[in-house]
Every structure is written in C-alpha cells, then in structure tokens.
Structure 1
Amino acid sequence: MEQTWRWFGPNDVIQLNHIRQAGATGVVNALHEIPYGVVWPVAEIEKRKAMIEGDKSLDLRWSVVESLPIHEDIKIGEGDLTPLFDNYRQSMRNLAQCGVTMICYNFMPVLDWTRTDLRAPLPGGGTALRFNAFEHAAFDVHMLERPGAEADHKPEVLARARAWFDKASESDKKQLLSNIMSGLPGAFDRYDIPGLRRMIARFKGMDAAGLRERLARFLREVIPTAEEVGIRMGIHPDDPPRPLFGLPRVVSTEDDLAHLLDAVKSEANGLTFCTGSLGAGVNNDVPAMAKRFADRVHFVHLRNVTKEPDGSFQEAEHLGGDVDMVSVVTTMLEEQKRRKDAGDPRWRLPFRPDHGHELLDDVGKKTHPGYPAIGRLKGLAEIRGVMTAVASIKGLPV
C-alpha cells in the first residue's frame, strides 16, 4: 500500500523532508485557507502541488485531498444549492486537471471529529486524544444547555457530568469548548456557545433519514463529475460514530456504509476506511466491515481505540486497542492483489497512520491535535512491519 502522511501545508511545523524521513512518499493535503463552498482555483492547486512535488530528491506526490469540504447548507438542504454544487464540481475538475484524483470528505453536521481531552496522560509522560462521555454530557447538558439533552446520556454519565460541572472553573469550561472545537481543521468558524447553538438550531427537526437523503443528493450531484474526470471519492466515517448534541450522523455503521454505497452505484463512490472512527462504535465489527466493503475502499486511515463501557474511548497504540489491525491490513493487501490482477492501473491503496500519541520531543510542540510527528512515525513503522510480514507470508504485492 502507498504510505502517505497528512500535512497541513506550509504553516505545519512538520516539514516535507520530515515526511520523507518517515518513509512516506504520498502527501495528504488540502487548501484549508479557502473557505467552504468556494472554488479551488487551478493556480492555487498547482502552487500547492509544486510545493509538495518540487524537490525531486524527496520523491513526494500529492496523492490525496483531505478534505474538499462540503458547505453546511448542503447538509441542511437549505436554499438554492446550485451554486454550491457547481463550485464543488468545478473544484473536482480543477483537481483532476492538476493530476490529483483522490478526494476524502465527510458528511458530519456542524462538527468534525470530536474529543473532550487532547492530552490524556500516558505512562511515561506521553499524551493521547480521548473522548470522555461525562465531559461530553457536561458540555451538552450544562454548557450548551440543549433542550432534552439529558435523554441522550446514561444516568451514571449524567451524574458524573453534574459533578464535573459543579467543580469546573471557567478555565476548565473554556478548555473543554476549545477541545471540542479542535477537530475542525483549516478554514472554519470555531463556535462559541451561542454560535454553536445557532448552528445546531439550523438542523432542528432533521433526523437520520433526512440527513441520509441530503447525502444521497450530494452524491447524485457530484459522482457523475467524478466519473467524467477520473476522480475517486472516499467518504470518511463519523468520528465518533454516534449522534452528538442532538445532531444525526449517518456514516457510522455497517448499514450506513451499505446505504450510501447503494445510493449511487459507481466505482467513484467509495470509502475512506477509518479503523479508528469505526472502531469507536460498540457494535461495529471492523475486520468484517473491511472484508465486506474492500472493493469500494479508496483510501485507508489506520489507527486504534480502546472503548469503555460508559461510551468513553481513547486513542490507543496502532497495534493495540480493540481493532484487529493485522486482519484489516491483510484484507487491504488482498484487495490490492485483486485490483492488480484485474488490471486496475490505480491498484495500490493509499493509507496513512491516522492520529498518534504525543511522545518524546513532540510533547508540548504546536502540532495539530492528533498529528505529532513521532507518534505517527511510530504508528507508520508498526503498520509497515505488519504489511511487510503479511505480504511476504501470503505472497501479496505491497
């Protein structure tokens, strides 16, 4: 599989030569500075591509766009959406014109990936991303004050949430808001409490069926263009795979994945298979899902989580946690062979080590939450070892 690395552009403290030192050759990048819904101009795409690929000694390529974001109005289904769909399609055409033909995107309303603790302590002094169910409930019930929020949380979680809130300082509450907002990368509005209430209110009355229909509409609008220009679209699962703050999420379960793939039956309509996002779902059998949907996977995120009975979870080591990573890697290598044998010129699957522990010299550095260099380097090395061993034993192409 193609070893890739998420890079946040020229302001990222992790530099392109560091990516090459890690052993990756593909760069996962986006034009985060361009607001949602605005066309990505060819000139800006070419400028970023030249930045990534200009130093031939590094032998890097811009292999995946993560993400070409979807404007919130499309998820709401509000107003005349023609200009937004037109702009999205034009951005796709411009990317394809520049030779960038893999797009990762998500359909999570309002918030992207969500954690309540960005520096949960690890043995020896490292840190990990963590989702505490009681902190989520404290924010939902006592800070956001969402009507009816209590019904969405277990009684024991509500009790801990009340206790946390009662003793929390204003600094604690401010930090929790900041942590929850930190999953929104690049060009975005970080909401304060009133702003978040207003955004959530725009989805009032929408259930999972309604959001599914808006996702299906998006796919019907853009997949024909993807087919036309040779782009493969890979939707990222919800993270965590459950409703948050009363907002529905529809890319969380095996049934969800089957539904969206059936909505528009096209090779261009595929998945970003994220073992960590899916792994946080209590009822998700991630290795089984990998086998079922392997032929529609276009991009792979490999990370692991450890779940707890109250709904909390923490980012684990890449080969630790609840997901059988060896099984998933084996499935993806077998799928690669199937594609290669079928003559698919794009048979090699791009993957990246997703999220990593903050370790060693990275502790305290201003890296994007979840994206320190050393923790991801450790994860990439571990996965590379699994990949090499499995390929050797089974006679599969790497």
Structure 2
Amino acid sequence: MQQTMRWFGPQDSVTLIDIKQAGATGIVTALHQIPVGEIWEVSAIQERQQIIKEAGLEWIVVESLPVHEEIKRATGNYLQYIENYKNSIKNLSDCGITIITYNFMPILDWVRTNHNYSNPDGSKALLYNQEAFTYFDVYLLKRPNAEKDYSETEKENALKFGNQLSEEEKELLFKNVLLGLPGSKINFTAEQILSLLDNYAAVNNEKLRENLIYFLTQIAPVASEYGAKLAIHPDDPPFSVLGLPRIVSTEDDLKAIFEAVPFNLNGLCYCTGSLGANPDNNLERIIDDYGDRIHFLHLRNVIREDENIFKESEHLNGDNKMERIMEQLLLLMNKTKVSLPMRPDHGFLHSVDETKETYPGYSLVGRLKGLAELRGLEMGIAYKLQQ
C-alpha cells in the first residue's frame, strides 16, 4: 500500500514535515481555496505540487474535487459546472494526479453530534448519537416537517436528551452538526442550512441517483481519455440526515452506480468507517465484489454502542475486523499488481495535540498512531501470505 495522509493545505496546523516524519510518503489534499464549481487551473495545481515536492513528498490523491450542489440537483448552471469539472480532471491528469475522490452527499459532507467524546484514557473521539441529532433537527434547527421523519418515541427520547443539556451544550451540538465543508472552519448558520434544504425539496433518492449517473456518464469518458480514476466516497453517516436523500450507503447502492456506468474507472473510495457504520454492509464482500473498482482506501474503525450511537474507535479495535479486511486488500493487490493508496482516516485527539487547532479527526498524533498500527498489520499479514 502507498502510505498517505490528508493535508488541508498551507493553512493546516499539521505541517508537511509532521506528515513526513510520521512515515507517510504521499499526500492527499485539495485546493480548498478555489470556490466549488470553478476550474482547477494547471498553475494552481502545480503550485500546490511544488510545495509538497519541496517537503520530500508527492501529491498522490485528490480529496476532494467537490461537486457543485447544482450538479447534484440538476438545476441552474449544472451543465457548465460539469464542463468545469471535466476541465479540472484534465488539468489534474496533465499534472500527473489521476486518482480523484469526490462525494455526492447533499449539502453536508459528514455529520457527527460530538467532536470530543471522552474515551476512558482521556483521548477524544468523534461520535454520532441519533437522539442528539433528532433533538437538533426537531427542537433546535426546527426544520419544517422534521417531526414527520421520527416516531413519537424517538421525539420523546430526543426531548429527554435535550432537556439535560445546558445552553452551552446546545450551542455546541448545533455547531458540531453544522460544521462546514472540509478544509473550512466556518459553520453553516440556521438560515443558510434551511435555505439549502429548501432547494432539495423535490429531490428524493431516485432523483439524486439519476443525477449522479448523468454526471458520471458525462465525466467518465473524459476520465478515461486522460487516465484518471474516480473514487466516490460513501455517505457519512450511511443513512438520511435532515430528510436528505442518500444513495451511496449500501451494497445495493454501489451495485446500482457501478452497473449504470460500467467503466472500471468509475470506482470507490473504500471507507471502512462510513460503510462500516451500517451493520448491514459486509465490508469483506464489498472487496470481493468490487475490488477492481477500489481506487483509494480510507481505513478507520467504529464501535456501534447500540442502534442510536456509533463512535470512532482505535483503527485496529472496533466492529470492523481490520485484520480480515487488510488480508483481503493485500490479496486483491497481489492479484491486480496495483499498490492502492491508503490513509489512516481520522484519529483520536490525544492530550499532546489538544492545544493545537486542528480539523476534527485530523490531529497529528492520533493519525500517526493509526498509520503505525495499520503499517504493522499490513507487514505482518504480508509476511504470513508469503509463507
């Protein structure tokens, strides 16, 4: 595997030197400063490449080349935004960067209700609590008709949960849920999110999938021409939030996307955390079924405390059997002769990093620990397979 770490750019408090000293050789990044929908010009790509090269590293994977909301809804200037996307794919490929990660989640890229859940050892983890989210949705945000999405019991339990929170804790919950796009520390406001939700009133799962497939049919030929690989990131969490459609959450979702656009370059960012948060997903079977579509690896783990709560766990200790997943991935790479790029997705916030301003899940030591553990697991299993 190619050992990589995500870097959010020059403004990231985790530096390229930090990442190099952690043992990674590749960088996963994006041009977050460019507004969504605009073309990534060659000059901007090369400028970022040069910064990374000077640190002794290589930009291997784009994460992410964001998809404009008008493409997801197939409204407004979506055709122009698709043309811009094609140009960005071409420019990236011309610069030698050919693995392009993206997602098709409406509005919010990911959601957690607690960014600082305290583990027994004092480290902090990301956590999703459905009761907390229901309280946010119905009683804090007061999304129109939100109450129809929940049972009476769910609303009662959410209200009990919320009544135990202080005003400060309610504000923090609001802030956690409405964290902005990756690479940004600016949160959505209530007015912004409600306006954006209005735009999706007529978009259900079927319509969103139709729009994704149209988007892929347009960009796949360009990716093929320039040797690029497209890696869609699964929904996080893998179920509907705020009444929004979800179409990359299950094995059936993957099947529909890959059958509709049968190019191998139309592939997957295999995220064990996002897919593994849905207990119905069989992560090993996904490797068996779609190994030739896996272009990028996000390896992390979760523990599902009950049907309402999942929290991110140590990379090797959780509900996802990482040793079995790693063995299947190594067998896949031995078969395909392709060394897949992998990054340790997320990590605990350890005490040594608590005074540093980092993106949730992206402190240095927690990811360094995950990278070291995953590298050790890979080496051990690789040795076993050689015997």
Scaled to the shorter chain, the TM-score interval is: over 0.9
- Following TM superposition, by how much is the alpha carbon of 1:363 offset from its aligned partner in structure 2, in angstroms? 2.1
CA–CA separation in structure 1 for the residues paired with 2:385 and 2:354 = 39
* Corresponding residue for residue 34 of structure 1: 34
SS of equivalent to 1:3: strand
SS of equivalent to 1:308: strand
SS of equivalent to 1:11: coil
- Following TM superposition, by how much is the alpha carbon of 1:302 offset from its aligned partner in structure 2, in angstroms? 0.2
Q: Could you list the per-position Cα deviations for residues 223-246 of structure 1 after superposition, in whole angstroms to 9, with x for gaps in the alignment?
A: 111001111000000000001110
* Corresponding residue for residue 378 of structure 2: 387
Q: Could you list the per-position Cα deviations for residues 345-396 of structure 1 after superposition, in whole angstroms to 9, with x for gaps in the alignment?
A: xx11000000000113012421110011111111111111110011111129
2:45 maps to a residue whose letter is: I
Select which of 325, 334, 359 maps to 1:368.
359
- Following TM superposition, by how much is the alpha carbon of 1:175 offset from its aligned partner in structure 2, in angstroms? 1.4
Pair 109,143 (structure 1): closer, same or farther in 2 beyond 3 Å: same
- Following TM superposition, by how much is the alpha carbon of 1:291 offset from its aligned partner in structure 2, in angstroms? 2.0
1:178 maps to a residue whose letter is: K
1:336 maps to a residue whose letter is: M
TM (norm. structure 2) is 0.96
1:217 aligns with 2:214: yes
* Corresponding residue for residue 8 of structure 2: 8
CA contact (8 A) 1:113 1:183 kept: no
* Corresponding residue for residue 142 of structure 2: 145
- Following TM superposition, by how much is the alpha carbon of 1:108 offset from its aligned partner in structure 2, in angstroms? 0.2
SS of equivalent to 2:202: coil
- Following TM superposition, by how much is the alpha carbon of 1:92 offset from its aligned partner in structure 2, in angstroms? 0.7
SS of equivalent to 1:34: coil
Pair 152,309 (structure 1): closer, same or farther in 2 beyond 3 Å: farther
* Corresponding residue for residue 346 of structure 2: 355
1:392 maps to a residue whose letter is: Y
- Following TM superposition, by how much is the alpha carbon of 1:134 offset from its aligned partner in structure 2, in angstroms? 0.9
CA–CA separation in structure 1 for the residues paired with 2:184 and 2:369 = 29
CA contact (8 A) 1:35 1:187 kept: no
1:267 aligns with 2:258: no
Select which of 189, 209, 234 maps to 1:192.
189
CA contact (8 A) 2:180 2:188 kept: no
SS of equivalent to 2:245: coil
- Following TM superposition, by how much is the alpha carbon of 1:172 offset from its aligned partner in structure 2, in angstroms? 2.5
1:120 aligns with 2:117: yes
2:252 maps to a residue whose letter is: D
CA contact (8 A) 2:249 2:275 kept: yes
Overall identity of the aligned pairs, in % = 44
TM (norm. structure 1) is 0.94
2:374 maps to a residue whose letter is: I
CA–CA separation in structure 2 for the residues paired with 1:196 and 1:297 = 33
CA–CA separation in structure 1 for the residues paired with 2:177 and 2:213 = 28
- Following TM superposition, by how much is the alpha carbon of 1:150 offset from its aligned partner in structure 2, in angstroms? 3.0
CA–CA separation in structure 2 for the residues paired with 1:33 and 1:177 = 25
* Corresponding residue for residue 344 of structure 1: none
- Following TM superposition, by how much is the alpha carbon of 1:312 offset from its aligned partner in structure 2, in angstroms? 1.3
Structure 1 unmatched ranges of 5 or more = 341-346
CA–CA separation in structure 2 for the residues paired with 1:244 and 1:195 = 16
Q: Could you list the per-position Cα deviations for residues 48-82 of structure 1 after superposition, in whole angstroms to 9, with x for gaps in the alignment?
A: 00000124xx3x11000000000001111112422
**What pairs with 1:83-122 in structure 2 (closer than 5 Å)?**
83-122=80-119
CA–CA separation in structure 1 for the residues paired with 2:18 and 2:186 = 30
CA contact (8 A) 1:125 1:359 kept: yes
1:202 aligns with 2:199: yes
- Following TM superposition, by how much is the alpha carbon of 1:301 offset from its aligned partner in structure 2, in angstroms? 0.2
CA–CA separation in structure 2 for the residues paired with 1:368 and 1:15 = 13
CA–CA separation in structure 2 for the residues paired with 1:38 and 1:369 = 26
CA–CA separation in structure 2 for the residues paired with 1:10 and 1:79 = 33
